[in-house]
Structure 1
Amino acid sequence: MTVQQKEMIVQDFEKYMQYTSQYKLPFTLERFATFATSLVNFYAGSNLISTGERKETALLLSRSFNAGIGNRITHEDLDQIADLIISDSTIDYSILSPIFSS
């Protein structure tokens, strides 16, 4: 994965975090998983990442989420969360719209 791809992923995560903060939306693990699943699938479908980069993207998003909650999630659990994210092929465009409208 390129540096530009990693920056894009982190920037999109940060945009979504700013959106949830601005509108006082709880950013739960469930909401994060829906967001991350949708973003990974959007990136893959748009050829912004390759199929082989889906797991790495999910891990980067999971690590970003974990950093935001004080690194309370273990590395093993982050790996399981990333596997869960890439196991789902859905895209919820309503959860992605805040990052693409800014």
Structure 2
Amino acid sequence: MTVQQKEMIVRDFEKYMQHTSQRNIPFTLESFAAFATSLINFYNGSNLISIPERKETALLLSNSFNAGMGNRITQEDLNQIADLIISDSTIDYSILNPIFE
């Protein structure tokens, strides 16, 4: 994965975090997983990441989420979260719209 791809992923995660914070939307693990799933599937469908890069993207997003939570999630759990995220093929554009406006 390129530096530009990683920067794009982190930037989009930060946009989503700002959106949830500004609107007082609780940022739970469930809402994070829905966001990450939609974002990764959007990236993949738009050829911004390849299929092999899906797991790395999920881990980057999960690590960003974990940092925001005070790094309370173990690496083993982060790997399981990433696997769960990439196992779902849905895209919820209502989740993504705020970061692409």
What is the aligned partner in structure 1 of residue 11 from structure 2? 11
- Which position in structure 2 is the counterpart of 1:49? 49
Q: What is the identity, as a one-letter code, of the residue corresponding to 1:29? A: L
Deviation for aligned residue 1:73: 0.3
Poorly superposed stretches of 4+, deviation over 3 Å: none
In the TM superposition, what is the alpha-carbon distance from 1:9 to its structure 2 partner?
A: 0.0
Q: C-alpha separation between the residues in 2 aligned to 1:14 and 1:79?
A: 21
Structure 1 unmatched runs, 5+: none
2:77 partner amino acid: D
Paired-residue identity, %: 83
Aligned length: 101
**Structure 1 residue 15: Cα displacement:** 0.1
Matched letter for residue 79 of structure 1: N
- Unmatched tracts of structure 2, length 5 or more: none
Within 5 Å, which residues of 2 pair with 1:2-41?
A: 2-41=2-41
The two structures have a TM-score, normalised by structure 1, of: 0.99
